[in-house]
Structure 1
Amino acid sequence: MLPSWLVIGVVTFLIALGSSILRPKDIKWFNRLQRPRWLTFEKAIPLIWTIVFICGAWSAYIVWEKTQNWGLMAFYALIEVTIVAYSPVLLWTRSLRNGTIVGGLGFVLGLFLAFQVLSISGTAALLLLPYLIWSPIGTYTTWEMGKLNPESF
């Protein structure tokens, strides 16, 4: 039998691959959008998401080892799918509003999970903090881009 950390890591990686289902024409569209002047950290976003996914998987591993709860694992997966859906939804619909909605939904789901996990493991809940900090920043950035690009909101 495979160790749980490996299964969780592989599932996390496979779900994360979903964010790469992007068409070049959509990426071109996104790159043409105006950005807020304060958006100086755009090149760091892939690293930030890598950290978020690693911490989320680690949190899931801790929770699994303590509970063996498939429902919680499904909830972790749902949040990751929501995170990964942001880019395809935003790009395929060419709507910053849709991206803002998906980002906000992911944050609410993440917050709910963190409160559930807190009673199981403080460490697992703390490992969700990178997402709970980054998600509103990314969502707010998308919303601000919508104000600069009203035709795409």
Structure 2
Amino acid sequence: MIPPWLGIGLVTLAVPFTCNRFISSRDFRWFKNLRRPDWLTFEWAIPIIWTVVFICGAWSAYNVWQADPGSISTWLMMGFYLVVEIAISLYTVVMCKSRSLKIGTIIGGTGFFLGAILAVMVQSRSNLAFWLLVPYLLWSPVGTFVTWQMMQLNPLDV
């Protein structure tokens, strides 16, 4: 049997890697050619930010698992972690495939609300699990706002 930390870690890696396999070089070029807000000077840091967010999310899930390993309610929470991660991972794929910043903004906002619901759910299980979701809850609105701003700068790509 695989240890919980490894299973959670593998799922955390598998979801975004699987989703990103559907992005073609043409999709990526579309996204790279979009105009960005002048104040977006930290775009180079976005992959680092997302790496931290995913690590914190996995660590949060592990803490919830450790609080009540194997119970039905814990499995349901693990399922909700998966739903949030899928929403996060679909943002880029669906936005690039549809070539729609509006869809990206909607998915980003939805992901934030799902993450907020998850944070409220896990707080009763583990304070640490809750606090480990805070980086996502802080970053998600920023990323969604950037996408919304890009929508204003690229009206043909709404």
Q: Give yes or no for TM over 0.5.
A: yes
Structure 1 unaligned blocks of 5 or more: none
**TM-align CA RMSD:** 0.8
- Spell out, residue by residue over 1:22-81, the C-alpha distance to the aligned partner (whole angstroms, 9 max, x if none): 110111111111100000111111111100000000000000111231100000000000
Corresponding position: 1:113 with 2:118: yes
- The residue that corresponds to 1:36 in the other structure is 37
8 Å contact kept, 1:18–1:85: no
- The residue that corresponds to 2:63 in the other structure is 62
- Report the alpha carbon displacement of residue 148 of structure 1 after superposing the two structures with TM: 0.4
- Spell out, residue by residue over 1:90-110, the C-alpha distance to the aligned partner (whole angstroms, 9 max, x if none): 100000000000000000000
| TM-score using structure 2 length | 0.95
- Report the alpha carbon displacement of residue 2 of structure 1 after superposing the two structures with TM: 1.4
Which stretches of structure 1, 4 residues or more, deviate above 4 A after TM superposition? none
Q: Which deviates further from its counterpart, 131-140 or 67-76?
A: 67-76
- Report the alpha carbon displacement of residue 128 of structure 1 after superposing the two structures with TM: 0.1
- Report the alpha carbon displacement of residue 144 of structure 1 after superposing the two structures with TM: 0.3
Distance 1:50 1:32 in 2: 24
- Report the alpha carbon displacement of residue 18 of structure 1 after superposing the two structures with TM: 2.7
Could you say if the C-alpha distance between residues 102 and 143 of structure 1 is closer, same or farther in structure 2, counting changes exceeding 3 Å? same
Q: Partner of 2:145: helix, strand, or coil?
A: helix
- The residue that corresponds to 2:85 in the other structure is 80
| TM-score using structure 1 length | 0.98
Would you say how many aligned residue pairs link Structure 1 and Structure 2?
A: 153
Structure 2 unaligned blocks of 5 or more: none
Query: For residue 25 of structure 1, what is the amino acid of its counterpart?
Result: R
Taking only the aligned residue pairs, the percentage that are identical comes to 52
- Superposition pairs for residues 1-153 of structure 1, below 5 Å? 1-21=1-21, 22-68=23-69, 69-153=74-158
- Report the alpha carbon displacement of residue 19 of structure 1 after superposing the two structures with TM: 3.9
